Structure 1
Amino acid sequence: MHVPDGFINAPVSVAAAVVATGAVAVSLRGARRELDERTAPLAGLVAAFIFAVQMLNFPVAAGTSGHLLGGALAAILVGPFTGVLCVSVVLLMQGILFADGGLTALGVNITVMGAVTVVVAYALFRGLLRVLPGTRRSVTAAAFAGALLSVPAAAAAFTLIYAVGGTTQVPIGKVFTAMVGVHVLIGIGEALITAATVGAVIAVRPDLVHGARGLTAPLKLRVGGEFVDAPAAAVRPVAARSAKRVWAVGLAAALVLAGLVSSFASSSPDGLEKVAADQGIDAKADQYEHATADSPLADYAVKDVGNESLSVGLAGVIGVGATVAVGSGVFWIARRRRTDEPAPAPAPSTTAV
């Protein structure tokens, strides 16, 4: 659902950029509370994983494909504020390096694919956990539902923005029906990917899943034939090694998906591209050339590499590496700013002398 240049007029694009800037600023402050020594490295990995999976377009209807948006997945794994930042980093890297999503439409994309998906998915996720049993299966089921709803919600948000600032005159009712209809189907794929990923992480390290905190059972040791809670000093080294394994496995999976599996992705236009072509939304888009159209990685292919599969795979690997590096840097800075903040001064004593 990457909105290109030329779909939304300049005033509304500027307004969306202001909204997106505000969302990122608020998320930077909120992420300080969500990030710690465990989740800060994971957040950079989540951004890279979303980048990799977004390269895997899957067919949803005749001549139409879809891909992961990632807002729900990021919010549930690392928290809603950090989730907005994860998706924003991905969109920025895609726009600058791969000419995917217009740079003038970056604010629209962050608002729709980042803020809207995270808010809708996480609100439903938390609401469901209030009424479901406190189990890991409930977390996975709530993740599925939140991801499923987040995609058509993003499609509806785009339609609203287009109704206000679209560059062509088309029947908005038809655009809304087409956008939401096809993105309900895409949402099913989003939900399956999100639930599978969240479930896999919960199975090995539930304490690394922001949305599953409170479900973690303490580590047990057998002492004198009985199981007792392990002391914190014994848990920390085990947890640190386990977190490193999760990070390494996750990075390897992202590299394999982007470097190898991406070559088998559907070549059909995604939901927005299909609706835009059918409804005439893209009538003026050809007048705009992407600012980074000459990038050596434009269109997810390495320039001057003749073999298509190799070209796409190399571009994917470079993208994963760049995204994890930039994302990790952003989250390290956000967490460092938190740790550098002075502790609040103690309240003055009111004890009478």
Structure 2
Amino acid sequence: MHVPDGFIDTPVSAAAGLVAVGAVAVSLRGARRELGGASPGGGAGGERTAPLAGLVAAFIFAVQMLNFPVAAGTSGHLLGGALAAILVGPYTGVLCVAVVLLMQGILFADGGLTALGVNITVMGVVTVVVAYGLFRGLVGILPRTRRSVTVASFVAALVSVPAAAAAFTLLYAIGGTTDVPVPKVLTAMVGVHVLIGIGEAVITTATVGAVLAVRPDLVHGARGLATPLKLRVGGELVDAAPAAAPVAARSTKAVWVTGLAAALVLAGGVSYYASADPDGLEKVAADQGFDEKAEEHAAAGSPLADYGVSSVTDARLSGGLAGTIGVGATVLVGTGVFWAVRRRRAAAEVPAKGAA
């Protein structure tokens, strides 16, 4: 659903840019707690989020290269807002998607540069807010089990995609550059993105479930859901008192290496077999006639434009190299951003502890 330049007029694109800047600013403040603070359920779970947040961004980048067919002549791809929010927290999730969109726009000419604010608002902010709000609501009423986390992940991811499609339609209604009737755009966008949402839900649930199976302590949305230890006192079962100090953090190296290897394999190899059909937005734009307003990307001459290395003639090798470069660049930039946010929180805590 990468919106190109030209679909939305300049004033609305600028306004969406301000919304995106504000959302990123708020997320930077909120991410300090998620990246450097204790987990909701106690312990130091937040400390282990920083090195994984960059990995989550790189994984989303890789999976977004895997367009899957959803209807005749139409494909879809992961948006990633729900996945990021559940794994590393909603504030950090917005930053993850923003980093991915920035790298795609600058390096690969995917998503307009003047439409970057539109894309961050639609694909990052809306998906995270809708998905995480619904996820927390479902987790709050379902039994406190891992299965509940995966069920909530599925529903939240599914709903977040048509919600993003509706958000794009709203922006189109306000600042669209063509006179295509808004109801037609809304019906087409939401209809096809419900199907894409099913794919999003499957990918999100599978990824969250895989991490839950090996390291549930690393899933932000699952922290604090463990059933308290029960002790029998006087013939009755009572909750045991929480530990006085958190258990030493386990290393995340194995998870980080495995996740990075998976991202490299997906982007560098599996992406060659992705569907070549236009995605949901491209298909709707072509069918409804507002694709003619799309403008050439400012980075169309980039050596990596369209996810290929311009100097490499072999299509498989060109796409694989581009995907590998994209994963590497995203994990480096993302990790750098998240470590900087965490260090900023740590620096702010030192004076506070001294005053105390």
TM-score normalized by the length of structure 1: 0.91
Unaligned runs of 5+ in 1: 220-227, 348-353
SS in 2 for 1:65: strand
Matched, 1:151 2:161: yes
SS in 2 for 1:343: helix
Instruction: Map residues 28-47 of structure 1 onto 2, 5 A cutoff.
Output: 28-36=28-36, 37-47=47-57
The equivalent residue for 1:128 is 138
Whole-Å separation in 1 of the counterparts to 2:290 and 2:246 = 60
Q: Out of 324, 327, 330, which is 1:320 matched to? A: 327
Whole-Å separation in 2 of the counterparts to 1:235 and 1:308 = 50
Matched residue type, 2:346: T
Between 36-45 and 187-196, report the one with greater CA deviation.
Answer: 36-45
Whole-Å separation in 2 of the counterparts to 1:141 and 1:147 = 10
Q: Displacement, 1:235?
A: 4.9
- Which digits, 9 at most, give the CA deviation of each residue in 1:182-224, with x for residues without a partner? 00000000000000000000111111000000135799xxxxx
- Given that residues 31 and 334 in structure 1 are in contact (C-alpha distance below 8 angstroms), is that contact kept between their aligned partners in structure 2? yes
Q: Displacement, 1:236?
A: 2.5
Q: Out of 79, 88, 107, which is 2:98 matched to? A: 88
Matched residue type, 2:337: V
The equivalent residue for 1:2 is 2
Q: Displacement, 1:280?
A: 1.1
The equivalent residue for 2:237 is none
Matched, 1:307 2:314: yes
- Which digits, 9 at most, give the CA deviation of each residue in 1:268-316, with x for residues without a partner? 000000000000121221xx22111111000000011111011001000
Whole-Å separation in 2 of the counterparts to 1:154 and 1:77 = 20
SS in 2 for 1:96: helix
SS in 1 for 2:136: helix
Matched, 1:66 2:66: no
Change (3 A) 1:62 1:166: same
Whole-Å separation in 2 of the counterparts to 1:122 and 1:47 = 17
Q: Out of 206, 218, 243, which is 1:196 matched to? A: 206
Unaligned runs of 5+ in 2: 37-46, 230-239
Whole-Å separation in 2 of the counterparts to 1:73 and 1:13 = 26
Change (3 A) 1:159 1:200: same
- Given that residues 206 and 215 in structure 1 are in contact (C-alpha distance below 8 angstroms), is that contact kept between their aligned partners in structure 2? no
Change (3 A) 1:169 1:253: same
Change (3 A) 1:233 1:11: closer
Matched residue type, 2:209: G
The equivalent residue for 1:165 is 175
Whole-Å separation in 1 of the counterparts to 2:91 and 2:301 = 33
Whole-Å separation in 1 of the counterparts to 2:104 and 2:246 = 42
The equivalent residue for 1:236 is 248
Matched residue type, 1:34: E
- Given that residues 145 and 226 in structure 2 are in contact (C-alpha distance below 8 angstroms), is that contact kept between their aligned partners in structure 1? no
SS in 1 for 2:352: coil
The equivalent residue for 2:236 is none
Q: Displacement, 1:84?
A: 0.2
Q: Out of 97, 113, 131, which is 2:107 matched to? A: 97
Q: Out of 324, 333, 346, which is 2:340 matched to? A: 333
Give the aligned length: 334
Instruction: Map residues 243-322 of structure 1 onto 2, 5 A cutoff.
Output: 243-285=252-294, 288-322=295-329
SS in 2 for 1:60: strand
Matched residue type, 2:259: G
Q: Displacement, 1:260?
A: 0.4
Change (3 A) 1:244 1:216: farther
Q: Out of 92, 104, 118, which is 1:108 matched to? A: 118
Q: Displacement, 1:344?
A: 6.1
Matched residue type, 1:292: A
Q: Out of 137, 150, 154, which is 1:140 matched to? A: 150
- Which digits, 9 at most, give the CA deviation of each residue in 1:21-74, with x for residues without a partner? 000000000000000330001100000000000000000000000000000000
Matched residue type, 2:265: V
Between 208-217 and 11-20, report the one with greater CA deviation.
Answer: 208-217
- Given that residues 152 and 183 in structure 1 are in contact (C-alpha distance below 8 angstroms), is that contact kept between their aligned partners in structure 2? yes
Matched residue type, 2:316: S
- Given that residues 144 and 226 in structure 2 are in contact (C-alpha distance below 8 angstroms), is that contact kept between their aligned partners in structure 1? no
Matched, 1:51 2:58: no
The equivalent residue for 2:19 is 19
TM-score normalized by the length of structure 2: 0.90
- Given that residues 144 and 227 in structure 2 are in contact (C-alpha distance below 8 angstroms), is that contact kept between their aligned partners in structure 1? no
